Amino acid sequence: TTAAEAQAAIDGGVADAIAFGRTFLANPDLPERLRVDAPLNESNPRTWYSQGPEGYIDYPALAEQQAA
């Protein structure tokens, strides 16, 4: 779901709220990314249930990607 799709669903009365659960895993700065229409990191489903930091804190933040 993109920010535009989410807004259209809310504006059209199709939904009262939109959840970005899986998208948030790979994009801890998701609100900022949606606000500036920045590209989203792809999440890695193999790490969704890991016991360590992999897949939770190792995705690059928007500021890191812009600095690179």
Task: State pLDDT tens for residues 7-58.
Answer: 999 999 999 999 998 899 899 899 999 999 999 999 889 888 888 888 777 8
Rounded CA-CA distance 65/5 in Å is 24
The pLDDT of residue 52 is: 83
Domain ranges in the chain are 18-67
Q: What is the pTM of this model?
A: 0.75
5: closest CA among 24, 18, 22?
A: 18
The pLDDT of residue 27 is: 92
43: closest CA among 61, 55, 31?
A: 55
